[in-house]
Amino acid sequence: MLDPESRVRELGLEIPDFSSRAYYGADYGSMKPHHITGDLLFLGGHTADDADGNVRLPGRLGADLTVEQGYEAARLTALNCLGGIRYALGSLNRVKSLVRSLCFVVTTPEFEDVHKVSSGATDLFREVFGPEAGLGGRATIGVMSLARRSSFETWLTVEINTAEIDTGRTGAVEIDG
């Protein structure tokens, strides 16, 4: 069986630690970073923001960003998702499989390669969790805008081993906005 935490170390990935600094989603309004029900973890929307809350690779695919830059924004977003999973569950090893991802790519009206951008996230999930557990269903939608000029956002649904959940991590965040 694949050990995702060991795999992260092998790949040299730097995953944000949301237990030592607040989840950046609070910058976007009142929300919870995640919700657990039964054997499912639902992550709130994640973007490519850095540790200081700065938007990385802002703009619109087809005008400001190339497919390669969009792919990188999706990959950075996936790293933040891994931080969100680790915060919710305590360890990536508690992931049974990724169920689905819903991806939003900011584009010009004529840009059609949204699927190539989203692969930046799903390719990273496959690298960490393996091809069976790391790939779930995926939908990608081209949109006109996201908050603070983010170019990519994703929501994840993750199947978990319920025997190992740390249910004390609700992560409720509320701000004025």
What pLDDT score does 163 carry?
A: 63
57: left (phi over 0), alpha (psi -120 to 50) or beta: left
Place of tokens 């929300």: 31
- As a CATH number, domain 42-162 is 3.30.1330.40
What pLDDT score does 1 carry?
A: 60
Place of tokens 């039964």: 38
- From the list 20, 32, 28, 63, the residue with the least C-alpha distance to 49 is 28
Exposure on the CB side of residue 35, measured as CA atoms within 13 A: 8
Between the CA of residue 163 and those of 54, 65, 89, what are the distances in Å?
36, 43, 11
Instruction: Give the pLDDT of the chain (177 residues) as one tens digit per residue.
Output: 679 999 999 999 999 998 887 777 667 778 888 999 999 999 999 999 998 889 999 999 999 999 999 999 999 999 999 999 999 999 999 999 999 999 999 999 999 999 999 999 999 999 999 999 999 999 999 999 999 999 999 999 999 987 654 444 444 433 333
What pLDDT score does 164 carry?
A: 53
